[in-house]
Amino acid sequence: MEKNEILIDLQVIFDSVFKTNSIQINEDTSAKDINGWDSFTHLVLIQEVEKKFNIEFKLRELMKMSNVGEMAEIISNKF
């Protein structure tokens, strides 16, 4: 799966989790860029991403993610 396809799918997930269409994610987007991205919404976000892509993140992968680009890269490597 191409990284651009993943980013499109991630945009839909972000819109759903944060209940808005005003967030435009890119590879550099991180928690500090999105109002309301706290520990609880992070858990919901991870759960929705795993469900959408039918994957399961390992703890070390979760610890490595510091932005959307790294998330997309890890997802891409699972295909």
Give the predicted TM-score (pTM) of the model.
0.91
Across the chain, mean pLDDT equals 95
pLDDT digits (tens, 9 = 90+) for 6-42: 999 999 999 999 998 889 999 999 999 999 999 999 9
1 confidence band (pLDDT: 50, 70, 90): confident
> What are the extents of the domains in the chain?
3-77
- 3 CB contacts (<8 Å, ≥6 apart)? 72, 73, 76
- 5 CB contacts (<8 Å, ≥6 apart)? none
CATH architecture of 3-77: Orthogonal Bundle (1.10)
Res 12: pLDDT:
97
